[in-house]
């Protein structure tokens, strides 16, 4: 989701498979040139 007026991007990442969360966060920060990152990881059992 984007909020152009505030120059913000909100990203939700879902997967049924395991993945390296830190790798995904780094990639996303680099891709969007993020300066401030807030994250919440929810693991479903």
Q: Is pLDDT larger for residue 45 or for residue 4? A: 4
CA distance 25 to 23: 5
3-12 pLDDT, tens digit each: 888 888 888 9
- pLDDT digits over 7-27, tens only? 888 889 888 898 999 999 899
Q: Which of 22, 2, 18 is nearest to 10 (CA)?
A: 2
Structural domain including 9 reads: 1-45
Number of domains composing the chain: 1
If residue 22 lies in a helix (H) or strand (E), which one and from where to where?
A: helix 21-32
């Amino acid at each position: 989701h984007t909020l152009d007026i505030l120059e913000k991007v909100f990203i939700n990442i879902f997967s049924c498979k395991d993945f390296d969360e830190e790798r995904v966060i780094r990639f996303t920060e680099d891709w969007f040139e993020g300066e401030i990152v807030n994250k919440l990881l929810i693991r479903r059992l």
